[in-house]
Amino acid sequence: MLEAPLRRKLPVDDFQDWPAWRALVVAALLSIHDAVGGTIVVPQTVLVEEYWDEIVDGLARGGVGVEAVTLVAGRAELEERIRADTVESSAAEWRLRRLADFETAEWLTRRTRLVSTVGRSPEQVAGRILDGALGGAGVRS
58 plus 91 within the same structural domain: no
Euclidean distance between CA atoms 49 and 118, whole angstroms: 25
61 plus 101 within the same structural domain: no
- Choose one of 23, 39, 66: the last residue of a domain: 66
Helix 75-84 / helix 92-104 crossing angle, nearest 10 deg: 160
Question: 121: which residues sit within 8 A by CB, 6+ positions away?
Answer: none
Question: 72: which residues sit within 8 A by CB, 6+ positions away?
Answer: 114, 115, 116, 117, 118
73 plus 135 within the same structural domain: yes
105 plus 88 within the same structural domain: yes
Domain that holds residue 113: 69-141
140 plus 81 within the same structural domain: yes
Q: What is the pLDDT averaged over residues 25-51?
A: 92
The pLDDT assigned to 82 comes to 94
Q: What is the pLDDT averaged over residues 1-7?
A: 65
76 plus 62 within the same structural domain: no
Q: What is the pLDDT averaged over residues 71-91?
A: 93
73 plus 22 within the same structural domain: no
DSSP 137: T
What pLDDT digit, counting tens, does each position of 61-70 carry?
Answer: 999 999 899 9
Whole-angstrom CA distances from 91 to 12, 83, 84, 111 are 15, 9, 11, 26
What average pLDDT is seen over the chain? 87
Rg (alpha carbons) of the chain, rounded to whole number? 16
Residue 48 has pLDDT above 70, yes or no: yes
54 plus 108 within the same structural domain: no
60 plus 73 within the same structural domain: no
Count of domains in the chain? Answer: 2
- Choose one of 43, 66, 89: the last residue of a domain: 66
Residue 141 has pLDDT above 50, yes or no: no
Helix (H, G, I), strand (E, B) or coil at 90: helix
Helix (H, G, I), strand (E, B) or coil at 89: helix
62 plus 75 within the same structural domain: no
pTM of this structure: 0.81
115 plus 103 within the same structural domain: yes
59 plus 123 within the same structural domain: no
User: Are 118 and 74 a contacting pair, CB within 8 Å?
Assistant: yes
- Choose one of 46, 66, 86: the last residue of a domain: 66
